[in-house]
Amino acid sequence: MSTWNISKHFDFDTQEKIDAAIALLQETTAAFVSEWKENTEYLSNPEVLAEALKQYEVWVRACGHGGGVGYYAWLKLQLNSENQENKALSAKLSEMSTNLYNQIQFFTLKIAKIEPSVQETMLAHTALQEYKHFLARLFAQAKHQLSEKEEKILNLKSTSAYERWVQLVEQQLSAKSAPIMTEDGTEKETSFNEILGLRGSRNKAIRDSAAKQVHRLLAEYAPIAEAEINAVFHDKKVDDTLRGFDRPDSDRHLNDDIETEVVDAMRKAVSGKFDVSARFYKLKAKLNGAPTMKYHERAVPYGNIEDNYSFEDAVVLVKGVFEKLDPSFADIFQRFLDNGQIDVFPQKGKSGGAFCVYWTPEQPVFVLLNHAKTLGDVLTLAHEMGHAINDEYIRDKQHALHFETSTATAEVASTFMEDFVLAKLLETADDEQRLAILMKRLDDDVAAIMRQVACYNFEEALHKAVRGQGYVSKESIGKLFNEHMHAYMGDAVEQCDGAENWWVYWSHIRRFFYVYSYASGLLISKAMQNMVREDATNIEKVKTFLQTGVSKSPKETFAAMGIDIADAAFWQEGLKGIEQTLVQAEELAKKLGKV
């Protein structure tokens, strides 16, 4: 079937059943609180802690994120966000879920503050081995936690010192509109977010019209963004100083369970290959008929890819690729189709885009699509099912406290599956189509890897400037931005007038260093693809990775596979695949007489 069969997986079709489920969640939470709130024996006795963690894991399975009834309400809302009953129920259960977590958070907070000498005993005890990494993460984060009162102060001031500033710029820009050229030569009032999307239009008049208005609006709001960046970056400096972090990205690495040395090795490897992305943009400019392109034109697609993939065609293609990689992948895919765990087509009120969602091991994974027969939709199906397969593998091997994926590796399984499907499509494409597909793949890879590392490097330089100078002008920020964008784009992309202000709307730098995860996830995926192409039996190593969840750090996970991700050589393996794709595109362009 092509829609979510929610009723098959959840029995909450009456208010009485919903109320009963809520009551059970509250009773289960109250029972745990009653058992452990005043009992402190688990803070010193490993065997008692093991029993407490088992009960906590049971609570997470039953009550996490509002339990099955909370999941049910959220899923209903995704299918029809215009339905007032769906909105009300989801809001009510979201609030209930927050209340449940507030009641139970004492448990992990107390564990995190266990005396360091006792922590070593806990981590080494046989009764706690299945929770070892969960505990290790709590202990590591506790080293940078302040007192309960101090933490409360930081939480309270975060709204005025951070959230309100970021919201100011985002909301002001999103509310703006401007007249933009249309296909028929007239102008249409267009929202800022829509204008951004038009920078990739194949129609030069439209994209130039869009760029002109983007440059005008960004220049208008640059003074506000200057004040905002200086405020939120200074606020982060204060927080980092209080918590004892020596680098502005240290807390990101700690919270993501990734070692700083790993991120640094990845960044160094990618930065050392910026010549590859510069070559790509040089090729793209030539294919589009010019020696260079404007900054806003870098996303203009090359060629025309024929799009007429029915969902049935997409299923046959994707399932065939999965079957060849490993039969279990195809089996999971078929089960999702049979059990109504994939919602396929656009509908009024349905959530846009695509995603794969899971809450706890007790509940099914669901995939949402908005299939419109494009090549991108085929790749999206493979991508989201990659997430789903990953989630199913974790469910089979891990308990609820390890049932998730690390930020650093969340996109590995999805891009792994997506790239193998793309390779299959290339087998039957003619030369013109093949070149267009290769250029699309390179566009996506360069944006996710080189661009995001350049963004990380820019963000790091900006934090250093704010911390060193006290306040940085919009002109200085723009100069730094241009330098780091030129570093990965090369001379084929002009850092033209107006491009220096594109940092103004770039939300990434306000979320502090999370962009590394795009690059790390895709590069790990590329390296794994190379392993499987060289030796098909290496799919077993991939499956081992898929079932790990967060039971180990990414570094520990790959060390068990004989891979050191702190070694730049590992990241070179992933980068090698991108360069090979570029060489194929360059040779094909020459063959077709395009360059």
What the block records as the tokens of 345 is: 């087509």
227 assigned to some structural domain: yes
User: Is residue 95 assigned to a domain?
Assistant: yes
Assess whether 189 and 86 both reside in one domain. no
303: left (phi over 0), alpha (psi -120 to 50) or beta: left
Question: Is 409 a member of any domain?
Answer: yes
Contact between residue 12 and residue 90 where contact means Cβ atoms under 8 Å apart: no
Number of compact structural domains in the chain: 3
Is residue 232 a part of any domain in this protein? yes
The verdict on 134 and 107 lying in the same domain is: yes
Over the stretch 162-200, which tens digit does the pLDDT of each residue have?
A: 888 888 888 888 888 899 988 888 889 998 888 888 888
411 and 546 part of one domain: yes
Same-domain check for residues 204 and 344: no
Q: Are residues 165 and 213 in the same domain?
A: yes
* Structural domain boundaries, residue 341: 311-430+517-551
Q: Which CB contacts under 8 angstroms, 24+ apart, belong to 86-89?
A: 89/18
Q: What is the pLDDT of residues 269-280, one digit of tens each?
A: 999 999 999 999
Determine the pLDDT at residue 381: 97
The pTM (predicted TM-score) of the whole model is: 0.90
Within this chain, do residues 232 and 376 fall inside the same structural domain, yes or no? no
> Domain check: are 44 and 181 in the same one?
no
For the chain, what is the mean pLDDT? Answer: 93
HEC-encoded secondary structure of 523-543 = HHHHHHHHHHHHCHHHHHHHH
Show Cβ contacts of residue 66 under 8 Å, excluding neighbours closer than 6 positions. Answer: 25, 73, 74, 93, 94, 96, 97, 100
Asked if 350 and 412 sit in the same domain, the reply is yes
Residue 70 placed within a domain: yes
450 in any annotated domain: no
Query: Helix crossing, 568-591 with 516-534: angle to 10°?
Result: 80
Which CATH number goes with the domain that contains 40?
1.20.140.70
Same domain, 25 and 93: yes
**Three-state secondary-structure class, residue 357:** strand
CA distance 528 to 538: 8
**pLDDT tens per residue across all 595 residues of the chain:** 789 999 999 999 999 999 999 999 999 999 999 999 999 999 999 999 999 999 999 999 999 999 999 999 999 999 998 899 999 999 999 889 988 988 998 999 899 999 999 999 999 999 999 999 999 999 999 889 887 778 878 877 887 888 888 888 888 888 888 999 888 888 899 988 888 888 888 899 999 999 999 999 999 999 999 999 999 999 999 999 999 999 999 999 999 999 999 999 999 999 999 999 999 999 999 999 999 999 999 988 898 877 789 999 999 999 999 999 999 999 999 999 999 999 999 998 889 889 999 999 999 999 999 999 988 899 999 999 999 999 999 999 999 999 999 988 999 999 999 999 999 999 989 999 999 999 999 999 999 999 999 999 999 999 999 999 999 999 999 999 999 999 999 999 999 899 999 999 988 899 999 999 999 999 999 989 989 999 999 999 999 999 999 999 999 998 888 888 999 889 998 899 899 999 999 999 999 999 8
435 assigned to some structural domain: no
Whether 191 and 127 map to the same domain: the answer is no
168 within 8 A of 228, measured Cβ to Cβ: yes
Domain identity same for 218 and 325: no
> Parallel, antiparallel, or unpaired for β 493-494 and 366-368?
unpaired
Query: 308: burial class by Cβ within 10 Å (0-12, 13-18, 19+)?
Result: exposed
Q: How many CB atoms lie within 10 A of CB 547?
A: 15
CA torsion through residues 30, 36, 37, 38, sign = positive
Using the 3D structure, point to which of 244, 271, 297 is the last residue of a domain: 244
CA distances from 540 to 422, 484, 528 (A): 22, 39, 11
CB 366 within 8 A of CB 75: yes
Distance CA 111, CA 271 (A): 40
Pairing of strands 342-343, 366-368: parallel
CATH assignment at residue 319: 1.10.1370.40
Cβ neighbour number for residue 242 with a 10 Å cutoff? 13
Q: Which of 244, 267, 301 is the last residue of a domain?
A: 244
389 shares a domain with 536 = yes
Percent of the chain that is helix, strand, coil (3-state, to 5): 70, 5, 25
Spell out the SS3 assignment of 75-101: HHHHHCCCCHHHHHHHHHHHHHHHHHH
Q: Write the CA distances from 390 to 215, 526, 546, integer angstroms.
A: 42, 16, 5
Residue that is last in its domain, among 198, 219, 244: 244
